[in-house]
Structure formats: C-alpha cells, structure tokens
Amino acid sequence: MINWDEEPDLNITPLVDIMLVLMAILMVSAPIMEYQDDINLPQGSTAKATQSIPDLSIRVDGKRVIYIKNKKYSFETFADDFVLGSNKYPKDTVVYIKADKTLKYDDVMFILKVIKDSGFSKVSLVTHG
C-alpha cells in the first residue's frame, strides 16, 4: 500500500558538488583568460618630447671608499662632498647605491641618510638577485 502523506526529501548534495567543481574551474581559468578587443586609439601629439632624468650610481667598496662616476670620496668626508656636489643633479634623480656586502649596516645607512638629507627621494639599494 502506498502512503501518500509522506513528503519527499530533496537531496541537493550532488548539485552542490557540481557547483563547487564548476566554481573551482572558473577560479583557476579566469586569470588566464585574455580578452582582445579591437580598439582604435586616438592620435597623440608628438610635438613635445619627454625629458629623461639621468640616474646616479654610488658604489661603495669593502674598504669604505665611495665612488660616484669616476671620482673617489673618503667615507669621513662623504657627507660634505655629496651635499656640495649634488647641486648639479635634479632632486628627482634616481640614486642607486651599490654597497659591498662586507660593509657594516651602519655604514650603508649613513650613506643612505646623507643622500636622503640632500633632498633625493628616489633612492634604491642594488643587490644581486
């Protein structure tokens, strides 16, 4: 005999499993997709050329001798020499510091502080890597 008063149970576990698999596939493949649209870009003006800002490279060897281009500076007088010589460079010049790995941390930070105090804001330490 059939009991018509029984309510059927809905089993949504397979539906949830399928949706989770589809979501995982979408999450993995979405960053890989590239869309290419044909875009007609407007013409720009070529009348004004951009001015490139030269960079400045400072090298420090293991004996605390500092080189800027072809000039040598002693570590003790570097602060005064750099402040006097930095006037010929614009303050938005990128400064790269290449320091020997045998130097003390304090020595490298001293050079960094002198450059920052001279008004240069774009200073980077160069490493192998």
pLDDT tens, residue by residue, 80-90? 988 888 888 88
Q: What is the Cα 1 distance to its own chain's centre?
A: 76
pLDDT, residue 40, reads 61
pLDDT, residue 68, reads 87
Task: Using a pLDDT cut of 70, give the percent of the chain over it.
Answer: 80
State how far the alpha carbon of 96 is from the alpha carbons of 55, 58, 106, in Å.
8, 6, 17
**C-alpha span between 114 and 126 (Å, rounded):** 17
Kindly report the CATH number that applies to the domain delimited by 56-125: 3.30.420.270
Q: For helices 105-117 and 78-85, what crossing angle results, to 10°?
A: 30
Other CB atoms within a 10 A radius of the CB of residue 31 amount to: 7
Tokens of 2: 């059939």
Query: At 23, is the pLDDT very low, low, confident or very high (cuts 50, 70, 90)?
Result: very high
- What are the sequence ranges of the domains in the chain? 56-125
Q: What is the mean pLDDT of the chain?
A: 82
**C-alpha span between 61 and 72 (Å, rounded):** 11
Query: At 53, is the pLDDT very low, low, confident or very high (cuts 50, 70, 90)?
Result: low
